[in-house]
A and B are shown apart, each in its own frame.
Chain A
Amino acid sequence: MNKGNTLRVALRAGFGVVAVGLAAAVVWLDQRQRLTLERAEIDSGWILLCAIIFLALFNVRKKLSMIPAGRNSDWLAGHIGVGTIVVVIYAVHVRDPWPSGYEFVMALLFYVVMLSGICGYILQRVLPRAMTNVRNEFIWERIPLELATMREEAESLVMECARDTGSDVLPRLYREDLEWFFRKPRFVFASILHAEASSSWARQRFGGVESYLSAGELDYFERLRSMSYVKGDIDRAFAVQGLLKVWLLVHVPATYAFLALVVWHVILIHVYLV
C-alpha cells in the first residue's frame, strides 16, 4: 500500500507540474496571439471550455462507480489541479473581471463556483480532523433517530427517577431545559466553530442543579448528564457534517447554471463573431 502511495503521490505531483505548465503555455499563447493580432480569445476560450468540461466530468465520474473509470481521489486531484489553472485561463480569456450583459451573470456564477470550490476544499481538509476529536461518530442522516431514541431514554429515565425518589428536580430540569435541548440539534452555528459549544451549555445547566439532588437521584443525574454530552457530540456532528454537505448545494447548482450560460455564450460567439 505504501509503495503504491509513493507512486500515486509522484504521479499527482507530476500532473500538477503539467497543469502549471499548461497554464503557463496558455498565458504565453495568449500574449503571443495578442501580439500577432490573432483572436486570442477564441483559442483561450476553447481551452477554457475543455478545462471546464473536464471539471464537470468529475460529477459524471461520481455516478459511474460501477465501471472501472479511475479512482475518485485521482479525479479529485485532477479536478483541483485543473480548477486552479482554470482561474488563470479564465483571467487570460476574460480580460475584464466584470463584463457587462449576460457575461456579467456568467462571471458572477464563475466566481461563485470558484469561491465555493475553494471554500469547500478548505472545509474538507480542515473539518474531518475536527470531527475526529469528538467522542462518538454519527451518521448525519440517522441523527433524528438518535435524538428520538435519546429523548425516549431521557424521558423514561426522568420518569423512573421521579417514581423512585419522589423528587421533581430532574423532571423539572428536563421540562424547562432538556426537552428543548433534546428536541433537535441546537447551537448549530456555534458548534461549527467550537466543538464543545453544545456540551458546555449542557454542562452549565447540570452544574447549576447538582446541589439540589439527593443521593438517590445522583445516579440518574449522571446518566442524564452523560446523555447530554452525547447530545453535544450529536450537535457537533450535525453542524460540521451539515456544513460539509451544504457547500455542495452551492457549488453544483451554480456550476450547472454556469454551464448553461457557457452553452449560450458559445452559440452567440459563433453566430455573432466567428
Chain B
Amino acid sequence: MNTILRPQRWDSPFDDELGEEQVASILSLPAFLDIDSTRFPAQIPLAGIIANDVRLVCFHRGDVVVREGDYGNSAFLVVEGSVCVVLTPGIPASVLGRTLTKRRGFFSALAQLWKNRNDVPEVRHLKESDGTKAGSANAKATRVDMEQVAATQTTVQLEAGQIFGEIAAIARSPRTATILAAADATLLEIRWQGLRELRRYDTGWRERIDTAYRANALKRHLMEDSLFAQLSADELDKVAAATLFETYGSLDWNVQFKREQQSGTAKETPIVTEGDYPDGLLMIRGGFAKVTRRIGYGERVLTYLSAGSVFGLGEFYRIWKGDADVAMRSSLSPLGYVDVLRVPYFVLEKYVFPHLAEEPEDHLQTAFDRPLTADSLLKWAVDHRFINGTKSMVIDLDRCVRCDDCVSACASTHGGNPRFVRHGKEHDHWMVANACMHCIDPVCMIGCPTGAIHREEATGMVVINDETCIGCQTCANACPYDNIRMVEINSSDDTSIFDSESGIPLMKATKCDFCYDQPGGPACVRACAHDAIMRTSIVELAQIAEVR
C-alpha cells in the first residue's frame, strides 16, 4: 500500500528562505502593523501567510521588475527604495527583453515516446513534500538604462509602502505597465493566495487593494484607449477624476453561473436598457457584457463586449451633432462579472468628439439586420459563457470521425494521460469539448490555496503545477465549464497512492495546459487528420462558422 502524508497548502512556500526573523520584520512594516491578526482563521494565520505566501526580492537600479504584457500572479509592496512605473510611450521589447516559455528540446520530447506509461494511468513518483518552490525562481533580471528612461518616458515613482501589480493578480490579466527599480529596492512580492487572504480578512488591505486596483485600472485604461490618445497628462487626470468605476457581478461569478445553469433561469439586471436616456459612455475594463435588442417578446443578442470595447458612443455622437431625441438603441447586461468605466458626456464633448475624424460606425445595426437564425451560434456561446475562452477546443462534428487521435496525442504529451475529454456542449455541428479554454477571466484560479494553478508568465496559459497541487478540488469545482478533472494518482506498480492519515486516495487536479512546454504546440490540433479540431476564441469561431 502506497501511502504518504497528504500534501498541505503551505508545503511549498513562496520563499523557502524566509526565516522567522524576516517574517517578524515584515510583520513590523507599517503596511502590516495595523492588521488585526485575530481576524485571520486558525488554519490561515497572518504569520503563516507572511511565511508562505510572500517573498522578498531585491532589485538593483534599472532592473525590470515586471514587463508590460507579461502575465503575473502576484502583487508587490515596496519595502525599501523606489520603483518607477513606465507610462508612455513605453519601452520597446528589444530593450526590455522577452519572457520566454521554457519548452522541451526535441529529443526530450521524442523520449516521451518510450517513457510514457501506456499501462498504468496517472503515475506519480511522489515523495513526502520537500518544500519545492512553487513558482519559477526570480531569474536574473534584465537591466535598462534609467537615464534613457528618464529622458524618453513618462513615469510615476512609487515609494516604500506603496503597492503595485494588483491588477494582474486580481483580474488575472496581463501586466498593464512595465515597472523598473528606480533605485536599489527591496520588494515584498505577495502572491495571489496571500493577497486574497489579506483582502478577505483585513478591511484595511481590502480598501487599499481595491482602491489601488480601481484607480490604477481606470487610469491605465483611459490612457490606453484610442479615444483619449491625444490627451495630455493633465487632461487625462481631469478625465480620470470625472470617470466612475463601476463593477457589476462578482469576481467569482462562476458560482452564480452554475446555479443559473442548474435551475435553467438566468436573470441579469441590465446596466443600460434599450430606450433609456444615454447616461455616460460605458467603457468595458474587464469581464464581459452582452448587447441585446428587443425582438418579439425576447432579447436578441447582437454581440458581446469585453475589455477594450465601448458602448453608447454612437448615441452620444448624435447628441453632439444636435439630435434632440436620442435614446439608447440597445441594452447592455453583465455576463457574470464586468468592470465598467462610465465617462460623462461633457468629457466626450470637450476632449473626444472634436478629435474624431468621422462618425463612429454602427456595427450593431449590421448585426441586427442579419437573419434571425444567424445568431444562434453566438447566442449559444454567450449563454454558456464560452466567450470567456481564448483557446476553446472546438470540434467540427461534420469532420470528426471520432477516432480519438486527438486524445491519444494529448496523452502522448502528458506521460500517457490525456487532459481533456472528447465530449461537451454542442450546437449544430460544433462541439466545445471539455478542454481548458484558457479563459480571459480564469475563475478557477481564484480559490487555489497553493498557487499551483497559475498563469504561465509568457503566454498566459493557465497551467497547474502538478507537484504543488494538493488535490483540494477547488479549481475543479470552480470551473464553470467542467474542464478540470480530479484524478487519483497511482504509483509505478499500478497501486493507488493513499493519504496515510485518512486512507483517502490522493488526487491531483489536471487539465489541458495547451502543451505549453512541448516543442510543437498543442498536440490535439496537430493530431487531427481531418482539420476537425481547433483551439480558438468564439469570435474566430463565428467567422469560421460562416463558411463551414
Contacts and interface: CB of A to CB of B under 8 A. Distances in A.
Per the CB under 8 Å rule, do A and B touch in the complex?
Answer: yes
A1 B534 contact: yes
Interface string A2-19: 100000000000000000
B314 to A, nearest CB: 28
B398 A128 contact: yes
Interface string A42-76: 00000000000000000000111111111111011
Interface in A232-263: 241, 244-245
B403 A245 contact: yes
B423 interface: yes
Interface in B362-419: 397-403, 405, 408-409, 412-413
A69 B106 CA distance: 11
Contacts of B529: 62, 72-73, 75-76
A1 B428 CA distance: 20
A131 interface: yes
Interface stretch (B187-195, B440-448, B506-514, B515-523): B515-523
A211 interface: no
A200 interface: no
A270 interface: no
Contact of B423 (A63, A71, A75, A137): A137
B536 A124 contact: no
Contact of A68 (B400, B520, B528): B520
B405 A73 contact: no
Interface in A200-216: none
A70 to B, nearest CB: 7
A101 to B, nearest CB: 36
Contacts of B431: 137
A66 B110 contact: yes
Contacts of A100: none
Nearest to B425: A137
B543 interface: yes
A132 B523 CA distance: 25
B422 A124 contact: no
A132 B544 CA distance: 18
Contact of A129 (B109, B398, B523): B398
Question: What DSSP secondary structure best describes chain A's contact surface?
Answer: helix
A65 B530 contact: no
A65 B527 contact: yes
Contacts, number: 97
B530 A66 contact: no
A73 B401 contact: no
Contact of B526 (A72, A131, A139): A72
A78 to B, nearest CB: 11
A220 interface: no
A2 B542 CA distance: 11
Contacts of A67: 106, 109-110, 519-520
A94 interface: no
Interface string B299-323: 0000000000000000000000000
B112 interface: yes
B429 interface: yes
Contact of B401 (A64, A65, A127): A127
A242 B106 CA distance: 36
Contacts of A131: 397, 402
B487 interface: no
Nearest to A129: B398
B407 to A, nearest CB: 9
B397 A65 contact: no
B113 A73 contact: no
A174 interface: no
A2 B544 contact: yes
Contacts of B207: none
A187 interface: no
A90 interface: no
Nearest to A70: B526
A139 B400 contact: no
Contacts of A71: 525-526, 528
Nearest to B407: A139
Contacts of B400: 128
A131 B403 CA distance: 14
Contacts of B428: 132
Given A68-B521, A72-B528, A63 B113 contact: yes
A140 interface: yes
A140 B423 CA distance: 11
B531 interface: yes
B115 to A, nearest CB: 10
B530 A124 contact: yes
Nearest to B402: A241
B526 A244 contact: no
Contacts of B405: 62, 65, 72
B422 A139 contact: yes
Contact of A244 (B398, B401, B518): B401
A70 B534 CA distance: 15
B145 interface: no
A128 B518 contact: no
A62 B544 contact: no
Given A2-B547, A73-B528, A132 B113 contact: no
Given A1-B534, A76-B529, A244-B402, A64 B113 contact: yes
A270 B519 CA distance: 42
Interface string B93-128: 000000000000010011011000000000000000
B91 to A, nearest CB: 31
Interface in A170-207: none
A128 B547 CA distance: 18
Contacts of A241: 402
Contacts of B358: none
16 contacts: A62-B408, A62-B527, A63-B412, A65-B405, A66-B518, A71-B526, A72-B405, A72-B526, A72-B527, A127-B401, A128-B397, A131-B397, A139-B423, A244-B401, A244-B403, A245-B403
Interface of B: 106, 109-110, 112-113, 397-403, 405, 408-409, 412-413, 421-423, 426, 428-429, 431, 518-521, 523, 525-532, 534, 536, 540, 543-544, 547
By Cβ-Cβ distance, the 10 closest A-B pairs, closest first, are A68-B520, A65-B409, A76-B529, A72-B529, A66-B112, A73-B531, A65-B523, A132-B429, A132-B397, A65-B527
Given A62-B408, A63-B113, A66-B523, 10 more contacts: A62-B527, A67-B520, A69-B526, A71-B528, A72-B529, A73-B530, A127-B401, A137-B426, A139-B421, A139-B423
